[in-house]
Amino acid sequence: MDDKRKTIAAITIVVGVVALVLIVVGILVSGNKTISPVPDEGAIKIIFVSPTPVVMATPSATIAPTKHISPTKKPTPKPTATPTKSASASAVPAQ
């Protein structure tokens, strides 16, 4: 049984080393052929515009002078034309 475990371990190590060598060779060969997602010329240029920062007003501890507020006047009612009964000759019966 010991020989079988040593054989399996040796085969696993050899396969791992071969895989590592293939990966390194693949990286070296394709390293010069990397494709950029951004084309060199003739590309559409997108400009991102961010909003300008808004300066927030901060409350101050000083009290600003205010105008003297006078009490408001009551609005005067406008006269309206209303019909009124007047004492006339028609109100008194004729004899």
Q: How does pLDDT run across 72-82, given as a tens digit for each residue?
A: 666 677 777 77
Q: How many CA atoms lie within 13 A of 29 on its CB side?
A: 6
Query: How far, in Å, CA of 1 to CA of 8, rounded?
Result: 11
Identify the pLDDT of residue 26: 87
How much is the pTM? Answer: 0.34
**Is the confidence at residue 11, as pLDDT, over 70?**
yes
Please state, rounded to an integer, the average pLDDT across all residues of the chain: 74
